[in-house]
Amino acid sequence: LGLVEIMRDFLVAIAILSLFLIIAALSFYQKRKIASSGLVKTLGIRKRAFFWSSLGELLGCFAAAYLCVAMVGTVLLFFLRNGFAAWMPEYENAGFVSFFVAGWSLVVLALVCFVAYLTCMELGKGYGSTDTRGAAVRWEKPVGRSAWVTVLISVAAGAACFAFYGQRRMGEKLLLVCGILLCVMLMIRSLWGIWLRMRQKRQEAFLPKLTKEFRIRCRFRTMIRYVSMLMFLNVFVMMVFSVKFISSQIADEPEALYPYDYVFLANSQDEAYFEALQQECEAEVLSFPMVRATTLDATEQPEEDYRVIVVQQGQNIGISESTYRELKKLAGEKPRDLILDEAGEKIHVVYQQDQASKARPLDWYLCSSRPYVHIGQALMGHNYITREQTYPPREIVSEEREALTGAYRQGRYENLIVFSDTYFESVKDCWKTTDLLTGEMVSEEEAVPDVTIHEWPTRLKLVNVPEKYQERADEILGEFRKSHAFDEAFDPLVKSAYISADARHQRETERQMETIVNGIVLLMLLAVEIFLLRMKMKMDLPELRRDYRFFEVFGMSSAERIRLMKREVSRYVWVPLILAGVISLVLTGIVFGLRMYEIKDVQNYLKYGILLWGGYILAQAVNLKLMQRSLVRDLEGTKTGRNKK
């Protein structure tokens, strides 16, 4: 479960990085080709011939790049596989990359390149003029007449994205983060353009600042695109992947997540297994009453048809308030004061997960804030018309994050749902009169075990076994699971019994992978941003040289010219960083609330976050100084060479 999510997030990050890099490379290629294509069009080349020649050039570059990437990737993959095998020998050999995987990677890469090409063509409209001199001096219009409408729409859409992001079911979704950033980009673009237009109307304020702001006015749309692109990358570094990387460092140790050696979800027919554990393994067995508490939907996919029964339903552990208090005391913590009702409509939820797992709702059904909870196992034949009677909606009056029995499914399954003692007593034996397929009431005559009714887990067994007997305990657990094959048939991720040693090892492996993968992504994002900044400087270098010579003829001092040119470079570093810093702080605070971080968790996060953010900003500052020094050297070299001539 965890490794799949880690690799999925990694592939999404790689696709986004590839899109940014290809767009940047194509933009650079397009701008450099303006002069040559303009000359060829002036000489009378046909549109079809020009199209096919350009397409052939791009396809040839794509094929050459793919071959190079395939060769380099094969070598890197070889070393990575051997490194993982030496570091974690318990992993089996993953084998070689098949032609199927290679073919799909080619298709995905081609699709990313196609999207990047369309985006680049859209961004580059207006540069396709055959008059290259006109393209060089053309001013970009800041905003249109509907700027204020754009501001209002972006504010409303951004507020909606923030509101959705603050919900457990929608929190930490990358699509919402991109939507927030897009709204911020549109709002800043419109407000900045309105400010420039208003400022330009006041000549007494506009003319004295003309030398400092003319490039903003001249290349406004291009500047906004690059600032937005760099802001996206900064937010991915300072928030999206920083949260993933740092949370895996500050999370509780795996030993604390699994307080018992074994957890059994048993019923009245299983006492023989626990007698064997006590007699043969000297086990300490704690027993508590429980019920299966099942929600309608455990998947993140939206329902296409509400009448369809979701097969993968959320299976959790229902307990009474008294059991909750006993479990809290066993964990050495003070139980909360709960406000529960006798009808069972108000519930308290204990999400059994650590700080590194993203927040998930109890029920994904219809985006409702009130989970639909059925007392019993998943019903594969219930009637959608009477669904609210079978799965009555409950109100979550309080919630917390704690591994009281074990975080075996990290908040997706096996959470604790606490009911009042009165309600729990009224439903703990309702399996005797509940149809196992439809959830409807059956009479005593119709109640046939394992035909119309089935005894779901009714006893929560928490077992500790001395280490020397755990091998035998594992064998008994295997026999227990075989006898509960029906209970495990609803979902392959939900078991009738759990071994803490296996879960602990899996969680340690997941954290190692999360640290490696997100660390690599952070380094790649930093490298991509440095590459984009340097490429932007190279693209603007001809215009900067021309501006530098103009200011020299205009009578501006050398120090002021250099300061002005440095500001043109620093704008693309500090503006995106400041915007991304503010957005990242807000989004990170929302994540703290969703994951229910305590004060100590926030403090530990800030310790790592300050180091990570500080190192990232320092790397940006060093790169900025190097770019400014290179720019000044190039401009001064141009001046010296011209004087020599």
Residues 6+ apart with CB under 8 A from 293: 315, 316, 317, 318, 373, 374, 375, 417
- Which of 186, 214, 23 is CA-nearest to residue 579? 186
In contact, 382 and 438? CB cutoff 8 Å: yes
Angle between helices 558-594 and 147-165 (to 10 degrees): 40
Closest C-alpha among 564, 532, 612, 618 to residue 228: 532
Please provide the DSSP assignment of 332-392 as one string: T-PPP-----TTS-EEEEEE---TTSPP--S--GGG-SS-BEEESS--SS--STTHHHHS-
Give pLDDT, residue 645.
Answer: 42
In one letter, which amino acid is 246? I
Tell me what pLDDT residue 31 has: 67
Tell me, yes or no, whether 613 lies in a domain: no
Q: Which of 455, 484, 502 is the last residue of a domain?
A: 502
Query: Which of 116-125, 166-175, 198-207 reaches the highest mean pLDDT?
Result: 166-175
Longest CA–CA span in the chain (Å) reads: 109
Which carries the bigger pLDDT value, residue 69 or residue 178? 178
Give domain status of residue 417, yes or no. yes
Number of structural domains found in the chain: 2
Structure tokens at 154: 């972006």
Indicate the DSSP class of residue 291. Answer: E
Q: Which two tokens stand for residue 602?
A: 């926030």
Q: Is residue 136 very low, low, confident or very high in pLDDT (cuts 50, 70, 90)? A: very low
Q: pLDDT digits over 435-494, tens only?
A: 999 999 998 888 898 889 999 999 999 999 999 999 999 999 999 999 999 999 999 999
Contact 184, 162 (CB under 8 A): no
Query: CA–CA separation, 167 vs 364, rounded Å?
Result: 11
Q: Is residue 383 part of a domain?
A: yes
Query: How many residues are recorded in the chain?
Result: 645
Instruction: Look up tokens 């084998």; give the residue.
Output: 95
Contact 373, 388 (CB under 8 A): no
% of the chain exceeding 70 in pLDDT = 87
DSSP string, 158-198: HHHHHHHHTSTTTTT-HHHHHHHHHHHHHHHHHHHHHHHHH
Question: How far is the C-alpha of 216 from the C-alpha of 612, rounded, in Å?
Answer: 32
| Other beta carbons within 10 Å of 375 | 25
HEC-encoded secondary structure of 139-162: CCCCCCCCHHHHHHHHHHHHHHHH
Task: Label residue 139 by pLDDT band (50, 70, 90).
Answer: low
Give CA–CA dist 461/262, Å, rounded: 8
Q: Which of 130, 150, 172 is the last residue of a domain?
A: 130
Q: Are strands 284-289 and 291-295 parallel, antiparallel or unpaired?
A: unpaired
pLDDT value for 643: 47
pLDDT for residue 300: 81
What does the pLDDT look like over 342-372, one tens digit per residue?
999 999 999 999 999 989 999 988 877 899 9
Q: Can you give the three-state secondary structure of 12-63, one letter per residue?
A: HHHHHHHHHHHHHHHHHHHHHCHHHHHHHHHCCCCHHHHHHHHHHHHHHHHH
Q: Which domain holds residue 108?
A: 1-130
In angstroms, the CA 491 to CA 227 distance is 46
Please give the average per-residue pLDDT across 126-132, as a whole number. 44
Q: Per-residue pLDDT for 406 more than 60?
A: yes
Instruction: Note whether residue 484 is domain-resident.
Output: yes
So what's the pLDDT on residue 211? 63
Lowest mean pLDDT among 14-18, 445-449, 482-486, 520-524: 14-18
pTM across the whole model: 0.84
- Residue 431 reports pLDDT greater than 50: yes
289-311 tens-digit pLDDT: 999 999 999 888 777 777 888 88
DSSP string, 504-551: HHHHHHHHHHHHHHHHHHHHHHHHHHHHHHHHHHHHHHHHHHHHHHHH
In whole angstroms, give the CA distance from residue 552 to residue 564.
12
Note the pLDDT tens digit of each residue in 165-186.
998 888 788 889 989 999 999 9
- Euclidean distance between CA atoms 211 and 202, whole angstroms: 16
Question: Is residue 263 domain-shared with residue 123, that is, in the same domain?
Answer: no
Residue 645 lies in a domain: no
Which helix (H) or strand (E) is 83 found in, with range?
helix 47-87
Res. 270 pLDDT band, cuts 50 70 90: very high
In which order are the strands placed within the sheet that holds 459-464? Answer: 284-289, 459-464, 262-266, 497-499
Last residue of a domain, one of 483, 502, 521: 502
Residue 121 covered by a domain: yes
Nearest to 344 by CA among 441, 288, 422: 422
DSSP state of 302: P
Domain annotation covers residue 592: no
Distance CA(514)–CA(124), nearest Å, equals 38
Single-letter amino acid code for the residue at 86: A
End-to-end CA distance of the chain: 69
Using an 8 Å Cβ cutoff, are 631 and 565 in contact? yes
Tokens matching residue 58: 């791009």
291 beta partners: 318
pLDDT above 50 for 535: yes
Residue 359 placed within a domain: yes
Best CA proximity match to 392, nearest among 412, 413, 371, 415: 371
CA–CA distances in Å: residue 111 to residues 108, 256, 439, 600: 5, 45, 47, 45
Residues 382, 439 contacting (CB under 8 angstroms): yes
